[in-house]
Amino acid sequence: MCSEIDIALEMIGTDTFESFNENEMKKRAVCMTVINIGELVKILSADFRLSNDHVPWKLIAGFRDIAAHKYGSLRMEDVYATVTNDFPTLKKNANEILLKNEQ
């Protein structure tokens, strides 16, 4: 999950929403990382998700479903905001969970 987050953040880089939105290849690639992250979340056990309920697992999986099945109506503003605003927090949470489970 962390590597997918890193890929999305690297692809967007310092792009403004406008420059991101003008690049069809980048939009599709970033959406694929959203889908990949959602798929990874869906294979987590219910017990794992419950024991780490500070992470919005259901919202992540739901956003994956929208990106995968309703691409035509997917708002790129939401994709950009999710990657730039939410992915850094998700990565921090994932790293904290990894550290906690290593102990």
Backbone angles phi, psi at 41, to 5 degrees: -65, -40
- Percentage of the chain beyond pLDDT 90 is 90
Integer CA distances (angstroms), 71 to 5, 16, 59, 94, in order: 20, 21, 17, 26
Region 56-85: what's the mean pLDDT?
A: 92
Across the chain, mean pLDDT equals 94
For the chain, which residues make up each domain, given as ranges?
Answer: 2-102
| 15-53 pLDDT per residue, tens | 999 999 999 999 999 999 999 999 999 999 999 999 999
| Angular region, 74: left φ>0, alpha ψ -120 to 50, beta rest | beta
**Is the whole-model pTM more than 0.85?**
yes
Handedness of CA 72, 59, 13, 33 (dihedral sign): negative
